[in-house]
């Protein structure tokens, strides 16, 4: 999956037996950042922007997306170096199915996908990348996460109960919600540790950005 960051932009024109002069070619892609010896292209930023539109209905600024791609480079580089296994086709399909089911109807999913401009193959490729990233971070940081029982109780009293009452629903019992709350707190801990690790890792990288100020 690291290939999206190390592609070299090149346009080769092969002319056999041609006598006419070719006009200037419009450049439709360019390098927007260098990370160590690799590059990130404008097309990479645009692809992640479209994926965010599909998932969230909106996308971040190009500058914010570029920062996410640099973070992805860090994770992908370490995961590849560790020979971390990539998701299987079945795991990718399960991820796609869960994602499609998160929409109210299949038609709503197709509508959002059309708005994003992504093909089925591109959605599958992005899903594979995101699964690879999240699974690696989970395996790296989950073992160190310890959840205090009081934190579960606090989350229940300050989060689950008020949210249920705000919706006019009877809140589940603490025992019924315990596993859900513990997993939510674990994921929060993983995100916090991953953020610290990425910040420290980026400080050691040689990064050059070439994003135009006029980008969104």
Where along the chain do its domains lie?
3-209
Task: Determine the average pLDDT of the residues in 98-124.
Answer: 97
40-99 pLDDT, tens digit per residue, is: 999 999 999 999 999 999 999 999 999 999 999 999 999 999 999 999 999 999 999 999
CATH architecture of residue range(s) 3-209 = Orthogonal Bundle (1.10)
Name the nearest CA neighbour of 1 among 163, 131, 120: 131
- As a whole number of angstroms, the distance between CA 123 and CA 113 comes to 9
> How would residue 11 be classed by pLDDT, with cut points 50, 70 and 90?
very low
159-184 pLDDT, tens digit per residue, is: 999 999 999 999 999 999 999 999 99
Three-class SS of 140-197:
HHHHHCCCCHHHHHHHHHHHHHHHHHHCCCCCCCHHHHHHHHHHHHHHHHHHHHHHHH
- Do 9 and 31 touch, CB atoms closer than 8 A? yes
């Amino acid at each position: 999956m690291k290939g999206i960051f190390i592609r070299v932009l090149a346009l080769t024109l092969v002319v056999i037996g041609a006598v006419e002069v070719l006009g200037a070619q419009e450049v439709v892609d360019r390098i927007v950042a260098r990370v160590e010896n690799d590059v990130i292209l404008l097309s990479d930023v645009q692809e992640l922007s479209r994926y965010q539109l599909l998932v969230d209905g909106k996308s971040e600024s190009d500058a914010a997306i570029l920062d996410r791609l640099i973070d992805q480079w860090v994770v992908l580089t370490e995961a590849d170096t560790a020979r971390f296994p990539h998701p299987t086709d079945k795991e990718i399909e399960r991820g796609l199915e869960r994602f499609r089911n998160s929409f109210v109807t299949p038609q709503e999913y197709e509508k959002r996908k059309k708005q994003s401009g992504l093909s089925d193959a591109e959605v599958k490729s992005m899903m594979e990348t995101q699964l690879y990233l999240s699974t690696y971070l989970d395996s790296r940081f989950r073992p160190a996460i310890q959840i205090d029982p009081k934190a579960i109780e606090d989350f229940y009293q300050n989060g689950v109960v008020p949210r249920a009452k705000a919706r006019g629903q009877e809140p589940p019992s603490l025992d019924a919600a315990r596993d859900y709350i513990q997993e939510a707190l674990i994921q929060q801990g993983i995100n916090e540790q991953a953020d610290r690790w990425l910040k420290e890792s980026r400080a050691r990288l040689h990064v050059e950005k070439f994003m135009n100020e006029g980008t969104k």
